[in-house]
A = this chain, B = another copy of it.
């Protein structure tokens, strides 16, 4: 039998679903709309129908398929309760018992679990990616926001109530930039993709640099990819954006390291495509901020999950982690 797991990534606009084999390969996948109607029962029906269709198409490819379970990554998901709680970007109100509702649809499956996308990325890294065999590591996901998933002694840290790993909302700069959450000076306001854009605009204002390759973009049009391309062409503003972003991120990674003493910290998401432009100043800053006992010990690595499929692959990894726990 070929063992596979279903991974579901619930975003504000789309829900991506994939069937993933034990090596992290996506066999088939599909997208459905995450509805704006707020009717959870209708959504569960649509989601279940899409999953059944995918299962059937996989079984056509290979009759000996064993579906182990469903893993879901979603905003404000609580692993302990199997719920999504007051997610601001989703139309469902209050506390949604996702796992309970899906168990009614798929009673035959052995493992169903939900967590947020950064935690799913961490479990994905552990099951399929660069953290195989590691017992203590952290994943930072850099995107529209900054999330993180923390693994200690081989297990994801959910904390007391299921919401651990919000490193994006630690304070880097007291009374600094306003974060999307309303707080001031949070890491997310500096090290997310929009954070990099904010830094670019700060710097253009500071230097009054009309010749920068970035100077022709509106606030709404500039993004981290454009900044990366400008850096590759030697644009001074773009290069300084990466220096400053790395400087801030390294400070945050050092704080995380001082808490947890991990073997490695993985960086995941759009801005990491810039490679050395972001990794070099990040690592330099982290090392500069570390206590002597921590220096030159902690690896800062790019995620090994494949970019496009990472969210569903990470979510599917939850299934393997659940089955491990059931064996213990």
Contact = CB atoms under 8 A, between A and B. Distances in A.
Contacts of A256: 259
Contacts of A254: 170-171
Interface stretch (A6-14, A160-168, A206-214): A160-168
Contacts of A259: 148, 150, 157, 164-167, 170, 256, 259-260
Q: Tell me how many chains of this kind the complex includes.
A: 2
A76 B162 contact: no
A292 B181 contact: yes
Interface in A81-95: 85-86
Contacts of A258: 166-167, 169-170
A293 B163 contact: yes
Contacts of A85: 293
Interface in A140-169: 148, 150, 152-153, 155, 157-167, 169
Interface string A251-289: 100111011111100000000000000000000000001
B164 A260 contact: yes
A260 B159 contact: yes
A136 interface: yes
A258 B150 CA distance: 11
A173 interface: yes
A55 interface: no
A230 to B, nearest CB: 26
A174 B289 CA distance: 10
A183 interface: yes
Contacts of A163: 261, 293-294
B181 A291 contact: yes
A172 interface: yes
A255 B170 contact: yes
Contact of A291 (B136, B160, B169): B169
Contacts of A298: 160
A192 to B, nearest CB: 15
A225 to B, nearest CB: 28
Contacts of A165: 259, 261
B136 A160 contact: yes
Contacts of A150: 259-260
B262 A160 contact: yes
A100 interface: no
A291 B260 contact: no
Give the residue among A76, A174, A256 with the most B Cβ atoms within 10 A: A174
A157 B260 contact: yes
A59 interface: no
A8 to B, nearest CB: 22
Given A152-B152, A251-B171, A255-B255, A261 B159 contact: yes
A222 to B, nearest CB: 25
17 contacts: A136-B160, A148-B259, A150-B259, A150-B260, A152-B153, A152-B157, A159-B261, A160-B262, A163-B261, A164-B261, A165-B259, A166-B294, A167-B259, A171-B254, A181-B292, A183-B291, A255-B255
